[in-house]
């Protein structure tokens, strides 16, 4: 069996590289082993790494049978979600060359809270928590975390951000009550829009409505006449 290592940013690029770099005989085929997943996220653009093995077609069935047996063994020795998250997040920040460490991981039913620290944490939080929300979305999209909800926090950032949002909501609410004119807010994540909506729901004569598409979806605070249902 011959093996080569290829790097590609996506499946299409990998297929093109295989066509250029591999010439098969009639009785040959190849199998692909993903060594490192590609990353295309915010400021990170890292090619994936793949091992391409060229082998005889009659060898393929034997290898697939062995792989099935190994897969069953791996399922039986499933790692705890905290260990999976530690491994994946550590690789992520290492590839990004960020000075960020895991301070603690707390698992509560299907919610996993990852607390992080380090001098580069601000880059993972970003302006108004945009990068933090995007990182959470990335982790929650990984199949290893299916059935769990991953949350990231640092130095109680989310609690502080929530209080900031509630203060903004109260100030804007007073303005709308005074002017009876609509007030458009800046685009926010679904979580932040929910916080604003909860705060505005405390005002009998106000309501919120969402407009636009993600990630630029925003809220408008509106005055509601007393007769309106």
Residue 50 has pLDDT above 50, yes or no: yes
Number of domains in the chain: 3
By residue range, what is the domain housing residue 36?
Answer: 2-74
Compute the average pLDDT of residues 89-114: 90
Same domain for 171 and 118, yes or no, is no
pLDDT of residue 75: 47
pLDDT at 41: 59
Domain shared by 185 and 211, yes or no: yes
Residue after which a domain boundary falls, among 122, 155, 188 = 155
Q: How confident is the model at residue 210 (pLDDT cuts 50, 70, 90)?
A: very high
Residue 228 lies in a domain: no
Q: Measure CA of the first residue to CA of the last residue in the chain; give whole Å.
A: 73
Q: Are residues 162 and 149 located together in one domain of the fold? A: no
Residue 229 domain flag: no
143 domain residue, yes or no:
yes
Kindly report, residue by residue over 68-85, the tens digit of the pLDDT.
Answer: 544 544 443 467 889 989
Q: Which helix (H) or strand (E) holds 158?
A: helix 157-179
197 lies in the same domain as 219: yes
Residue range 58-71: mean pLDDT, rounded: 59
Q: Which residue did the predictor score with more confidence, 45 or 24?
A: 24
Q: Do 176 and 130 fall within a single domain?
A: no
pLDDT of residue 42: 55
**Digit-coded pLDDT (tens) for 143-201:** 888 899 999 999 999 999 999 999 999 999 999 999 999 999 999 988 899 999 999 99
Within a domain: residue 211? yes
pLDDT band at 114 (very low <50, low <70, confident <90, very high): very high
* Confidence class for position 118, pLDDT limits 50, 70, 90: very high
Return the CATH number at 135.
3.30.300.20
Do 86 and 151 fall into the same domain?
yes
Q: Is residue 218 part of a domain?
A: yes
Q: What angle separates helix 130-140 from helix 81-95, to the nearest 10 degrees? A: 130
CATH number for 218: 3.30.1370.50
Query: What distance separates the 2 farthest-apart alpha carbons in the chain?
Result: 80
Residues 135 and 169 in one domain: no
* SS3 category, 126: coil
- For residues 146 and 165, state if they share a domain: no
Instruction: Output 71 or 12, whichever has higher pLDDT.
Output: 12
What pTM value is reported for the model?
A: 0.60
Among 155, 185, 208, identify where a domain stops.
155
Mean pLDDT of the region 39-53: 73
pLDDT at residue 205, as a whole number: 94
> Which strand (E) or helix (H) includes residue 59?
helix 57-76
């Amino acid at each position: 069996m011959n093996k080569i290592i290829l790097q590609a940013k996506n499946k299409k690029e990998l297929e093109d590289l295989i066509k250029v770099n591999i010439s098969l005989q009639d009785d040959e085929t190849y199998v692909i082993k993903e060594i490192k997943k590609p990353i295309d996220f915010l400021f990170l653009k890292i090619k994936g790494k793949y091992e391409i093995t060229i082998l005889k077609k009659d060898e393929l069935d034997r290898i697939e049978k062995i792989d099935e047996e190994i897969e069953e063994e791996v399922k039986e020795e499933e790692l705890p979600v905290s260990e999976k998250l530690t491994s994946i997040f550590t690789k992520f920040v290492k590839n990004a060359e960020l000075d960020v460490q895991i301070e603690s991981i707390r698992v509560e039913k299907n919610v996993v809270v990852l607390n992080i620290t380090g001098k580069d944490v601000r880059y993972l939080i970003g302006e108004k928590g945009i990068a933090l929300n995007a990182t959470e979305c990335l982790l929650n999209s990984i199949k290893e975390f299916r059935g769990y909800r991953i949350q990231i926090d640092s130095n109680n950032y989310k609690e502080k951000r929530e209080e900031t949002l509630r203060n903004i909501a109260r100030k804007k609410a007073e303005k709308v009550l005074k002017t009876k004119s609509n007030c458009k807010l800046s685009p926010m994540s679904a979580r932040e829009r929910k916080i604003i909506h909860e705060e505005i729901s405390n005002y009998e004569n106000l309501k919120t409505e969402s407009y636009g598409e993600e990630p630029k979806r925003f809220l408008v605070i509106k005055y509601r006449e007393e007769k309106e249902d």
